[in-house]
Structure formats: structure tokens, C-alpha cells
Amino acid sequence: MKSLFIFFQHLAPQHLLSRLAGKLADASTPALKNFMIRKFVKRYGVNMAEAINSEAEDFATFNDFFTRALKPGTREVHSAPDSLVSPADGIISAAGNITGDQLFQAKGKSFSLAALLGGDSDTASSFLDGSFVTVYLSPKDYHRVHMPCAGILKKMIYVPGKLFSVNQTTSERIDDLFARNERAVCLFDTDAGPMAMILVGAMIVAGIETVWSGQVAPAPHGLCTSDYANQHPAIQLAKGEEMGRFKLGSTVILLTGPGAVNWLQDVDENFAVKMGEQIGDIKK
């Protein structure tokens, strides 16, 4: 079955299916969107008690439901000044050191840092021999992405690509998965030095948004770089502040420079995290 699933991934019209899913998820017909929301909540066991709005009728579209806001206080952001917190709810699929230009993907597979960052070798040089953590967001999770620490936005790179699924099966069987899929690379200056947050698209992911630019993907053009280094006022985001969201789920990869952070001992493969929980310490 796994082999058939991977075979389908290569044959499927990935972008067409994802864009059609996006149109369906943006449908506002009450009967249709209410039916989809209720079925989804039941199928995946979504905890609607955490959400500000808890009934299907409260949402304008399925995407409105999927990117739902949580009640104040539902997620506590670790307050220690030097703590690094999880950017999202999910499962850590990989974490550790970047070996030169190589990041661990799964079961002996690795992929190129420079390729992940859209082929930008100058940007990649800041993260050579650094650290990374990969957080997979399942369908039931809260799908807004938040800042692991305070940061000032310097650059965003939209990288077009494939739309393979990003679950454990594809991570183990598709080479260079995260460096092949469509993604938004967001680069910040932080107390931990240069930091990159990569929002990776996937099959049936209808869109990637950031709080400063709106929808980033899908984009009508190819690779695109937006420079915010000289913007006034600068785009500054506090630790725990929302920076983006997925319309349907995917993966966030967090990169830091060499010697910048220590991950907590529990931060390893298959560790469940909630947004705001401490995952590491910034080295001073």
C-alpha cells in the first residue's frame, strides 16, 4: 500500500488537485461548507473546545474553519527571555544539527540546505553546521504558525515546486522532499542570530499566508524574493506572535546558525508539541 501511495504521488496532477481543493475549501454555500466541517471534525477528532468559534455555522468557509483562532490563554508562550518555543502544534519529525549543507529527513535520507532555501548560497551560508527542527502539522492540529522568538523580518523567498504529501511515508520514501515542494522561506534577525522559518506546501494544501503579505502560495510566477531589510518601519514580531498560516496542513522547518541554540533533550523524532511550548534555549 505504501508503494502504491508513493506511485500515486508521482502520477497525480498535484497542483490541479490542490487548487481544486482550495476552491472547494473557499466555498461559502452553507450546506456544503457545514457538511465538510462536521465530517472533518468527526474524522480527525478536532478539539473545537479550544476554538473561539466552535460550530460549523460560525465559519464563512472551510478554510475559515481550518485556520480558526483559539481562545485567549489556550496556548501559553514560555516566558523565559532565552527560551525558544515551538512555532506550531504538531509532531517533530526530525531535529538536530545541520551537517555542513545537509539536513536529516528520515531513515538515512538527507537534503541540501541551499536547495531548501531556493538555491541561495549566500543565505544558506548563515546556517551551515547550524541546527534545525521540523514540525509536521496533522489535519487535526491548529494551523497558525507563530514566532519561536522575537524577530525582525529581513527577506522572504517564494520557491515554486512539487506538492507531495509530507507525512512519514513520503518523508521516508521520496528523496529531497522538503527541497522539492513549494515553500515560503522567511528570514529573520533574532537574539539567536539569523533564523529561517520555512513553510512547506503539500498535496491538497490550498495556500500559504503570512501576516505581512497575505497569500504567498500558490503564486502566479516562479521563484520570487522580497527584501524587507530596509523597510521602515521594520516588520517586528514578538515571541509567540502569529507569522503565517496554512490552508490545510503541512510542515514548518526552523533553522538557526551554528552554536545558536540548544534543543531540549525531549525534542526529537515523534515528540508531540504545542505552539508556545519551550523546545530549546538561545545560547548567550
Residues recognised as catalytic: 89, 146, 250
Amino acid at 201: G
Which of these, 131, 93, 251, 116, lies nearest to 176 by C-alpha position? 116
What DSSP letter does each residue of 27-74 carry, written as one string? ---HHHHHHHHHHHHHHHT--GGGBS--SGGG-SSHHHHHTPPBPTTS
Task: Answer yes or no: are the C-beta atoms of 254 and 263 closer than 8 Å.
Answer: no
* Torsion sign, CA atoms 253, 271, 246, 1: positive
Angle at 204 between CA 201 and CA 208, to 5 degrees: 40
